[in-house]
Amino acid sequence: MAAVSNLLSEDQFRCSICLDVFTDPVSTPCGHNFCKNCITRHWNTADRCQCPLCKETFTTRPDLRVNTLFSEMVAQFRQSVQQKSSSSSSKQQVSKPGKVPCDVCTGTKLKALKSCLVCLTSYCETHLEPHLTMPGLKRHQLIDPVENLEYRICTKHDKPLELFCKTDQTCVCTLCPVSDHKMHDVVPLREEYEGKKVKLEAEIQQMIQERRLKIQEIEQSVNLSVKDAKKEIAEGVQVFMALKESVERSLDEFIKTIEKKQKTTQKQAEVFIKELEQEISELKKRSSEVEQLSRSEDHLHLLQSVQSLKAAPPTKDWTQVRVRPSYKGTVVRAVSQLVDTLRKEMKKPLDTELKRVQQYAVDVTLDPDTAHPALILSDDGKQVEHGDGWKNLSDNPERFSVCAYVLGKQNFCSGRFYFEVQVKGKPTWSLGVVRESINRKREITLSPQNGGWTIFFHENEYVALDAPPVSLSLKSRPQKVGVFVDYEEGLVSFYDKDAAALIYSFTGCSFTEKLFPFFNPCRLNFGKNTAPLVILTFNKTDLEDHETQSSQSSTGAVVGKGGLSSEI
């Protein structure tokens, strides 16, 4: 039997359907052998009952019988294959977790070398051999081993997905363009793959380039940060050295003042002591005279002498004389002078900071197309106040219909900009910047989430409308408020212009839209809030200087003065 099996080729012991060694081989009436399950499954899914090899058609499904002799030969061949497989398994790599296993191996699963898109099976080195030697199997498409091969088959036509429909952006088989994808733009998978690969590689290279540019930008920011840090340290050292000198000077003046008062007190005490000693000497002299008189027996002479003693210069009344040096208020005055000095020194960096942001000043005017009907705008577009009634205005998409707000004509999509608003005489107001898409037709709560970065003043209370709102404590009531925005930095800051003091800063903002200056003069409040919000105008020189700086720092957006969009 072994000799006979050795005379037969290895291909003769493999089922032409599953391409594996026969399992329960049976014969058809035409004389061909198949695995019992393979031929049964084939006939169950086929339209006609015919032999898969010779195509002989049977009118009725024939009875399948086991070829006993051939079955024994297959069993012997299987045993020899298993022996070869066990001897070569040490040379082949056993499949590990995460690797694609061979679908044919029984027992220990070896690592698959290839997957067949026609057979939908993954093969190790041993079981792949028929696909490399048999002429019929050489035409099958082999790929690097992958899992879930069933997903590579068209569920409708049971054919490999070899085409790509550009119309529906999906993989299809060769029969799909005839049915569901008729008249669609269909190309081979390789062609679509090559196009997608080129596009993907270009996108990846672009992303790499963008990130390299971002690295350069961050490095430049770090360099600027180092310079700013050194500058800040230098200014801080200057301030604290001035403070130190002021403290030392105040301490020296304090000590000199105390010592001067002490010397004055000491001199005064010495004068008092000298006078007292002189009076004591005089009194001792009189005491001696009285003692001498007391020894005399001449009473008349005694009485006459007493009268002469009374006529002598009277002694000074010392009951109200005090030597109490007054140092009260000296320390308070010294500390007060020190505080004044400290305030002046601390105000210098704030003055510098305000001057820095004022370099980005822009000329802002009000946009009447955005103004709520209850607002009154000046002819030059620089003032806004709340009126008694509503004007009859067209309800265009840009206009605020519910909230009495108005925006500036100018919009900003990059760079830095600064503008100032006079709020003098107003007990209630709100201002800042908002994004272009802010809701203009409904009641809104101003916050960064809703597209607004603003501060609000009402009845001596200042609030930054952040999330959550932040109550602000200001030493003085601002008359002019400056608004500064750094688009790329995500910063919105408010300044008390006259005090050169920072009121509040929104930091870490993410701007993706155009920003507009925002103004809310608030209701009249029974005539108490009639003063307008006034946009201050900067002189031409300031704006020209800023235009030069802005053009030098432009990031590619269409900008005018100070990062100002030309769409006005």
Question: Of 162, 193, 191, nearest to 177 (Cα)?
Answer: 162
Whole-structure pTM value: 0.45
- Omega prior to 469 cis, within 30 of 0: no
How far apart (Å, rounded) are the C-alpha atoms in residues 84 and 74? Answer: 15
- At residue 174, the pLDDT reads 86
- At residue 552, the pLDDT reads 41
- At residue 561, the pLDDT reads 30
- At residue 121, the pLDDT reads 86
**Residue type at position 246:** S
Laid out side by side, the sheet with 163-165 consists of 170-172, 163-165, 186-188
How far apart (Å, rounded) are the C-alpha atoms in residues 560 and 545? Answer: 13
- At residue 308, the pLDDT reads 64
- At residue 282, the pLDDT reads 82
Cβ neighbors of 493 (< 8 A, separation 6 or more) are: 357, 483, 484, 485, 502, 503, 504, 505, 506
- At residue 90, the pLDDT reads 47
- pLDDT tens for the 568 residues of the chain, in order: 444 444 455 667 788 888 777 888 888 888 888 888 888 888 888 878 888 888 888 888 888 888 777 888 887 877 776 666 555 544 455 555 547 888 888 877 888 888 887 788 889 988 898 888 888 888 888 888 888 777 778 888 878 888 999 999 999 988 899 888 988 999 998 888 888 899 999 999 999 999 998 899 888 878 888 888 888 788 788 878 877 887 888 788 888 888 888 888 888 888 888 988 888 888 888 788 777 777 766 667 667 666 666 555 556 777 777 777 666 666 666 677 667 766 666 655 666 788 889 999 999 999 999 999 999 999 999 999 998 888 888 889 999 999 999 999 999 999 999 999 999 999 999 999 999 999 999 998 999 999 999 999 987 899 999 989 999 988 889 999 999 999 998 999 999 998 888 899 999 899 999 999 999 999 988 888 999 999 998 765 554 554 444 444 333 332 333 333 323 2
The end-to-end CA distance of the chain, in Å, is 98
- At residue 59, the pLDDT reads 85
Residue 38 · residue 15 · CB < 8 Å: yes
- At residue 70, the pLDDT reads 80
How far apart (Å, rounded) are the C-alpha atoms in residues 16 and 368? Answer: 84
Question: Of 280, 284, 269, 524, nearest to 387 (Cα)?
Answer: 524
Residue 242 · residue 345 · CB < 8 Å: yes
- Structure tokens that stand for 369 in this block: 């197309």
Q: Can you tell me whether residue 275 is helix, strand or coil?
A: helix
Laid out side by side, the sheet with 114-116 consists of 121-123, 114-116, 142-143
**Residue type at position 38:** C
- At residue 436, the pLDDT reads 95
Residue 72 · residue 85 · CB < 8 Å: no
Helix (H) or strand (E) holding 86: helix 68-88
